[in-house]
Amino acid sequence: MKVHANYYKILLLPLYYLIHKNFVFGSLHKYFFKYFHYKNFKFELNIKNLPTENRSSFLFKTYEYNDRKLIERHIEKKNKCIIIGGGIGFIPVITYQLSKNKILVFEINKNIIKNLKKNLIINKCKFKIYQKNLVINNYNKKSSFYLSNDFLQSSMYLKSRNKVFVNNIQFSQLNNLTKFNTLIIDGEGVEEYFILNIDKLKYINYIFFELHHNLIKSSKIEEMFKVLKKNNFHKKDKCFNSYFFERKK
């Protein structure tokens, strides 16, 4: 069965990427659709650095496919979520609507904050947005961040000529953070930082993250999984390069 499943994935991946990032299909969405619609939700796309080809993923509903599948399978009312990387608000909205618990969203790209906030309001979420970089035992006031012509590629790890500095905020500076038990990491490469420091976040029992193989060395990836195991986290589910881990008590 596993051989057939792998063969199926090999056949499916070229088709997926053909429609996921396609200029022609992206142009259709750009000129004929004002919003990105998913189920009963709608999202404004008032973002300057959004390449036309990326809009194809909105047309075919492949945007954030991996993370979305895991969130829809596993987020429940018991989950109280901290979300690293708000984007257009897609994952935060789905997360809130499944859990019905107020979400904390951290987004350091100032160019998309207004659009993110509007989408959370449109979709009737209870939320708090921090335009700051969430850190653990890092007492530097600022961190560097690189803006890209594609907002999805803006990152602390993908270097570009457009370097900016963002304010840091410590976990310890946030009130009632220990009430949150779920960490959803949707930042380019930042999953390495949080997982390697997960021993300091004793109240986190559920972790969702996308693994960026293009940004993290294989040796570091191996170390990340060892750290998760050491801290009693066990893999519960996976969708392509996205993972869901739960801490065994």
**pLDDT classification of 108: cutoffs 50, 70, 90:** confident
**pLDDT classification of 175: cutoffs 50, 70, 90:** confident
pLDDT at 4: 39
- Asked whether residue 169 carries a pLDDT value surpassing 60, the answer given is yes
- Regarding whether 212 and 133 lie in a shared domain, the answer is yes
- Regarding whether 23 and 6 lie in a shared domain, the answer is yes
- Regarding whether 68 and 52 lie in a shared domain, the answer is no
In 99-161, which ranges are E strands? 103-106, 127-130, 133-135, 142-147
Q: Give me the number of domains the chain comprises.
A: 2
DSSP for residue 101: S
- Regarding whether 104 and 28 lie in a shared domain, the answer is no
Comparing 21-35, 143-157, 229-243, which segment has the lowest mean pLDDT?
143-157
- Regarding whether 201 and 79 lie in a shared domain, the answer is yes
**pLDDT classification of 85: cutoffs 50, 70, 90:** very high
- Regarding whether 95 and 57 lie in a shared domain, the answer is no
- Regarding whether 139 and 22 lie in a shared domain, the answer is no
Residue that finishes a domain, picked among 63, 88, 108: 63
Give the mean pLDDT of 31-53: 92
- Regarding whether 100 and 195 lie in a shared domain, the answer is yes
Residue that finishes a domain, picked among 40, 63, 86: 63
DSSP for residue 1: -
pLDDT at 68: 97
Mean residue pLDDT of the chain comes to: 89
C-alpha 70/C-alpha 208 separation (Å) is 8
Q: Identify residue 200 by its one-letter amino acid code.
A: K
The three-class DSSP label of residue 15 is helix
Closest by alpha carbon to 42, among 113, 124, 127?
Answer: 124
The three-class DSSP label of residue 25 is helix
Chain mean position to CA 207 = 11
- Asked whether residue 11 carries a pLDDT value surpassing 70, the answer given is no
Bridge-based pairing state of the strands 142-147 and 162-170: antiparallel
Q: Find tokens 């350091």 and name the residue.
A: 108
Look up the domain containing 52 and give its range.
Answer: 1-63
**pLDDT classification of 146: cutoffs 50, 70, 90:** confident
Backbone phi, then psi, for 204, in 5-degree steps? -85, 120
- Which CATH number characterizes residue 127's domain? 3.40.50.150
- Regarding whether 208 and 89 lie in a shared domain, the answer is yes
HSE (CB half, 13 Å, CA atoms) of 249?
Answer: 5
- Asked whether residue 3 carries a pLDDT value surpassing 50, the answer given is no
